Amino acid sequence: MNRTQFRVHLDGIATIELDEAVLRVVDDEWRKQFYPLFSVQEIAEHIAYNLIINNACLSQLDGWADQPDSNAVIVDEPEWDTFAKEI
């Protein structure tokens, strides 16, 4: 069986909404236990990646398991641009 490899580039954009409680929980003690997230943007990127790419909900994420899933939601589904090149 013949196989062909492709280099694939995915570029997507979506809107997420975070409750203030999601941001408030991240402090130095939290960072020691979980992830070195320091800015609001880093927190949003981390959560968005997991919501969109890993299809996870907030309560499945380390450091936010005690929060309701409604504290981090996808407002609009991602719009994807895809480019594939045979290699």
77 pLDDT band, cuts 50/70/90, is confident
Residue-wise pLDDT for 23-74, tens only, equals: 999 999 999 999 999 999 999 999 999 999 999 999 999 999 999 999 999 9
DSSP single-letter state for residue 15? E
Taking 3-state DSSP, the helix, strand and coil percentages for the chain, each rounded to the nearest 5, stand at 35, 30, 35
Residue type, 72: A
Residue type, 81: D
20 pLDDT band, cuts 50/70/90, is very high
- pLDDT beyond 90 at 76: yes
Whole-number pLDDT of residue 50: 97
**CA–CA distance, 54 with 3 (Å, rounded to integer):** 27
Judged by DSSP in three states, 62 sits in: coil
User: For the chain, how far is it from start to end, CA to CA, in angstroms?
Assistant: 17
1 pLDDT band, cuts 50/70/90, is confident
